[in-house]
Structures are given as C-alpha cells and as structure tokens.
Chain A
Amino acid sequence: MSTIRTSIPSAGSDGLEARFGARVAARLSAGNDGLPHDISERLRAAREQALARRKLVQVQAAPVVASVNRGGSLTLGGGWWTRIASAVPLIALAAGLVAISVLQDDNRASEVAEVDAAILTGALGGGWWTRIASAVPLIALAAGLVAISVLQDDNRASEVAEVDAAILTGDLPPAAYTDPGFAQFLKGDDSLAH
C-alpha cells in the first residue's frame, strides 16, 4: 500500500479525479519521509508496545502474572483461572467423599448379598471389580490433597511476593528493617500501644 498508484484511468471525470488524487497522495507520501526524529521514535515505541501487548495476551493463560499498573503499584493474580483452579481440588475431595459413601453402601449391600449367596451356594468371592472400585475414592482423595498442597504452595509464593512488593513500593526504604534502632523503635511503639 505504500507504493504510489500507477494505473490511473485516463478518460472521464472519474479518471481526472483519480489522477488528481494520486498526485496529491504522491506529494503526501513524499512528505512522509520528513517526519521529525522524535515523532518517528515515538511511533516506533508505540509499535513495540503494541507488539508486547500482543505477547501479553498470548501468555495470559499462565496462573500467576505479575503486572505493573500505570500508577506504579505492583499487583499479583491470575484472575478467574486461579479462582476456578483453586476450586478443583475441593470439588475432587467432595466427589471422593460422596463416592466413598456410595461405595460403602454398595459394598455393604453386596457383602450381605454375597453372604446370602454363599450361604445358598456354599462358596464365597468378591470379584476384582469391587476391589478396583473401592480404590477409586482413595485415589481421588490423594489427588485432591496433592492439588491442595500445590495450590497452597502457589498461594504462599504469591503472598510472599505481595509482601515483597509492598516493602519495595512502600515509603519506607527496605534497609530500615535491618536497622537495629528502627527495630527497637517498633518494639517500643508496640509496647506503648499495648
């Protein structure tokens, strides 16, 4: 689109208009190269920012994203994905408990039936399916516990990150916390408050 139109109709008022338009456009395009340096640089910066924004959208599926707002404050969080993900182990746990309850009821009923059958036929046997099915809720429970552990680790990391961000963006310099005099002052302040 940056090239100048060359196929200009030569006859009729439409052709004349097109010729005139093309010549004006050629003048404008020629003047385009003479943009001041600061404008060109700002356009380049805007372009790079737009491309970076595109990348940000593409990686937005990551659970925890640290972003710097325009105001300069640091915020952490993965939005709805984190909330949904945090509910998954709870759902798994609840499903596991329900499954245990249902299976125990089933097992009790089948045990009674088996005992009845054994008494009637003179043989005893539970079958593999019952044993495998009884392991399912335990697996679900274990998976739920592992997921809870992983998410708690993530939450702890994000909490630590938030504390770090608060320390770094706060008015008080971080070095103040290592100053024994300041620690003493804080203790004194606490004792006064109590």
Chain B
Amino acid sequence: MATEKELSDFLKSVERRAFKRSVYHVRDEEAALDIVQDSMMKLAEHYGDKPANELPMLFQRILSNCTLDWFRRQKTRRALFSNLSDFETADEDGEFDLLESLSPIADTREAESAEDTTRRAQILREIESEIQALPGRQREAFLLRYWEELDVAETAAAMGCSEGSVKTHCSRAVHALSRALKAKGIQL
C-alpha cells in the first residue's frame, strides 16, 4: 500500500504534465484543472490503498476517463452530435521523410541567449498548437507513449485499445506533427 508521502510525491510528479495534457485535449485551462483535480481525488479516494508502482497506470486511466467524461458532459450540454470518429481525420500519409525534420541533437546543447529563450518559447507554442490540432486518439497515444513514457502495452491498456492501434496512432501522430512543424520551418 502506498504511503501518504508516496502518493503525494506521485501526484506532485504528474500534476503538471496531467494539466498540460488535459489542456491539449479540452483547450480550456479551467476545465483542465477540474479534470486533473477530479482525477487526483478519484485516485486518492478509490486507489489510495494500492501499491505505489500501480499508481501511474491507474492515474493515466482515470485521467483519460475523466477527460472523456468532460467531453460527454459538453456534448450533452451543447446538444451537439459528435462521436469518436469526429476525432479521426482522413490521413494523408504520402511520401514523407521523417529525417528531414530531425536536426542534429548537438544543436540543442548550445548555450542559450535571450534570443534563444524567446525562440524556444515560440517553438514550444507552435508544438503545443500542433499537438492540439492532432486527432484526439493520436494525441492521446502520442502523449502517453512519448511524454508519459509508457510502453506500447501500457499505452494500449490506458487507452483501452489494442497495441497495434497504439502503434498506428503514434506513427500517424509523429508524421503529422513532423510534417506540420517542418512546414513552419521548425527543426527539433
């Protein structure tokens, strides 16, 4: 069973990423804060007695469910028709070289000036806006896989889909992001 300190440390380590992930999904900071708070409460209330190593997966699942619940409530509130297929866009996987969007990693290790800081903040905003523009499932898979650093099986469990779907979503997300960032002249 996780101690109170372990639970507190865990929540502290994930709260910022959870908030940003929710913002990317719902595009509303207030709603994102509510979602993160709900998720934390549910984790503490229902799974506070679980071992510390089970908390990350449980939290990711709860956060995903809370985000879905938020979308459902919005759908009811606005009385608009939408379904999961709305989150999927027609894919345009043409010929595209991912290598072109990757600059040598040494570039990122240079000393940073004020100009660099501004440039970095601008790049971050561009990346965030492109992540928000991704279809919901692709965004979810990409963030869980690469930002939360879950493996394919864990991501599949958190998203409630097959491992093959996770790989497909991730691959499409990477290509879409890479293409969009390259079009804006951004190299990572």
Contact = CB atoms under 8 A, between A and B. Distances in A.
Contacts of B174: 17, 20-21
Contacts of B120: 27, 30
B46 to A, nearest CB: 9
Contact of A28 (B8, B11, B29, B147): B147
B170 interface: yes
Contacts of A42: 33
Contacts of A43: 15-16, 19, 33, 36
A5 interface: yes
A35 B186 CA distance: 23
Interface of B is mostly: helix
B56 to A, nearest CB: 6
Interface residues of A, number: 37
A1 B16 contact: no
B19 A35 contact: yes
Contacts, number: 123
B101 interface: yes
Interface in B120-154: 120-121, 123-124, 127-128, 131, 142, 145-149
B147 A50 contact: no
A29 B56 CA distance: 17
A23 B107 CA distance: 12
Interface in A3-27: 5, 13, 16-27
B11 to A, nearest CB: 5
B33 A1 contact: no
Interface stretch (B37-45, B63-71, B79-87): B37-45
Contact of B19 (A16, A22, A26, A39): A39
Contacts of A26: 108
Contacts of B124: 27-28, 30-31
